[in-house]
Each structure stands twice: as structure tokens, then as C-alpha cells.
Amino acid sequence: MDFTSLVNQRKIKPIGRTHIKDNKIFMNFSGSGVTFKTRGEKLIIKFYATKFDDNNACPFVSVLIDDTRIDYKVNEEYKIIEIPISSSIHNVSILKRTETSVSFLAIEEIIVDEFIPLQEENKFKIEFYGDSLTCGFGNLSNNPEDKFSTETESFLDSYAYLLSQKLNADYSAICVSGFPIYKSRWNEGFPIDSVADMISICDYSEDMKMETSIPWDNSKFIPNLVVVNLGTNDCSYFTEGQKWVDDLIVKYGSFENVLDSEEMKKELVSLENKIISFLDDIFALYKNVKVIWALGMIYVNPHIQEVFDRVLNNYNNSNVYQFNFKVREICDERGAVYHPNKKMHLIASEELAKFIKEIYK
């Protein structure tokens, strides 16, 4: 199937960071995929997947037909899905529900009676950078004791996707569970260890190095707004239970004393510099874009929050905004591994949508 031709003819519109390889359109990051308009009674989609045989890691895909959403578990290397549709014109989107670090997903073929060319739309564009919160980790669960599984992860029920729908915006999401802006205990030793370093790549896996990643051309999607939701996992690096911190507690007698130590201050300065560097990279790519740095869907340690407060308040660009979610005060209902559930994500999307409308007045 010639996806390049279909994209060039505007019969298929890519969503998020997709790339075409071996006549497949890869849609690896959360929420990436395609949208198109079709006429007729035929809709057959052939998928290619990795980790298809791992119950906790196999990818899930959402197919949206007009106002109807159907979710599928892609549990075969090559899985064919045939969906009966009425003889009419339909708007169809095929979106990856789960995250790139767990498994890759591609469309090998789409069979319809007719593709109808899409109309040009000058839509508001949002690019998201985030961790498990943006991925929608565990949000389909209502049991905090549940472990991670792609079964309960849904980007389409995340604050990011819901926000995009509320604002009728195109989006792109670069997000990986457990990842920080600077350092996290959940990904120590990984060759790429910060979402900030993924600013110009198409996908991510745990063993991936920059030189083995697929590059992304940032001119393909120039956002009006960048939303960054990073920093929560950095708390895991700057607290008790992390070896370097525990060693300092032995040296200084208490965690409170460690917070005043030169070693801790040096690492917090490194965090500060990483935030600044990432903002610099965003503005180098996107010039006049607005940036919202959002925190608070999960508790953030005060000494980490102080760093973000200081950097974001003093960064030399008036297009940078800080946003602190209040959702935990309104509703504290958790999904898998104590992550926010669907209801919390919905409230968070409403909070952030209201803030965005205020800054664009």
C-alpha cells in the first residue's frame, strides 16, 4: 500500500509523529495514528505489532468511526480487523492507545471502498511532552493495587487527548512512563533517559540510543502551544530510597540536612539547567510558541516544586506559563499504581482548558 501517495494526496492525514517504513505507517508514540474520510461499506485494517504476545505489553488501538470508538488488542504480529460500516460517508481515525516504550505499532494496509480527499483545516496545534500521566498509565483501572498493563492504559482517556478534543486541536504527544525532565529512579541506565532528549525523534524503546532512533522533522508539526508535564518522576531521584541520597543521609544524619548539602544543591542546579535547556530547545524550534509547564496531578516534593517555581518565574520569555493542577483537591480517585483514573483526567483536562482559554484571550 502506497501510504506516501495517500498522505501527499491528502487522502490520509497523519496524527502525531508517524513515519513510513517498509510500506507501513508506524504510529508508535501515544495517540499517534491517521485520520481519513471514506465512502462505502468496507473498512479493513491490517496492523503490524511488536510485543503482541506479551499480555502486559501488547499494543491497543482505538478506531473512531464518526462518534463511535472501538478499542482493539493487537495480539498478533499481523492482525486484521474488519469493521462493518453503513453505506455512507464516514470520518475514521485510527489511534494508538498505548505508549511507545512498551511496543511498536504500524498499519500495513487500509482497505475501503473509496478514500475522500480531506479539506485543509487551519486548526490550533498542541504538542505535549510528558510521562505516565500524559500516556494515560492505569487510567482505565479503579484499583490502585493493579500493576502496569497496556490493558488499563489509554491515551484517549488522558487529560492530553481530552484537552485536545475540548479545544478542537490537532495534537502530538511525546511521552514515556517513568521518565523525567532530568533524572528518575525508574529509568536509570537507559541510553536515552529524559523526554527532553526526544524532542526530535519519532519513537522510543528502552534499549534505543539516539543514533538508532528515527529522526523527526519538527517543521512537519509547528504547534501554537507546547504543554510540558514533566518533573513528577524527578522527585523519585531526589528523595530517600535513592542510593546517592541515602549515602548523604548517612553522611549528614537526616534527609533535612541533605537538602542543605552542597551535593544536593549541585544536583538541583543540574535539574534547573535541564529545564532551561529544554525551554531553549523548544523556542529554537518553534519561535513564538506559548509553553505551559504543568505539574500537580501527582504530588511533587516541595524542594522540586521550588526549582520549577524559580526557573519558570525567571525564564527570559513571557510566553512561558506555569500551571498547577488542583484535581487532587477536587477528586482523588486512583487507577493502577496510584495513578489518576479516568475521572481525574477528565477534571484535569477541564482545568487546563480553562487556563488556556484565559491566556489566549
| Grid cell digits, residue 12 | 490520509
The residue type found at 170 is D
Q: How far is CA 154 from CA 31, 66, 139, 140, 180, in A?
A: 9, 19, 7, 7, 20
Q: How far apart are CA 10 and CA 121, in angstroms?
A: 11
| Grid cell digits, residue 256 | 533535612
pLDDT at 265 over 90: yes
Buried b (16+ CB within 10 A) or exposed e, 202-234: bbbbeebeeeebeebebeebebbbbbbbbbbbb
% the chain with pLDDT above 90: 98
Residue 1 pLDDT class (50, 70, 90 cuts): confident
Burial class (CB in 10 A: 0-12, 13-18, 19+), 260: exposed
How confident is the model at residue 318, as a pLDDT? 97
- Show the DSSP H helices in the chain as ranges: 3-8, 132-135, 159-166, 234-237, 243-252, 255-259, 262-286, 302-314, 327-330, 342-359
Instruction: Identify the bridge partners of residue 156 per DSSP, sorted by sequence position.
Output: none
Q: How far apart are CA 317 and CA 279, in angstroms?
A: 10
Q: How far apart are CA 275 and CA 258, in angstroms?
A: 22
Residue 126 pLDDT class (50, 70, 90 cuts): very high
Q: What pLDDT, in 10s, does the model give residues 57-111?
A: 999 999 999 999 999 999 999 999 999 999 999 999 999 999 999 999 999 999 9
How confident is the model at residue 69, as a pLDDT? 98
Is the Cβ–Cβ distance between 234 and 271 less than 8 Å?
Answer: yes
How confident is the model at residue 171, as a pLDDT? 98
Span 261-278, mean pLDDT? Answer: 98
Q: What pLDDT, in 10s, does the model give residues 46-55?
A: 999 999 999 9
Is the Cβ–Cβ distance between 132 and 235 less than 8 Å?
Answer: no
How confident is the model at residue 106, as a pLDDT? 98
pLDDT at 280 over 90: yes
pLDDT at 8 over 90: yes
Sign of the dihedral through C-alpha 186, 191, 194, 199 = negative
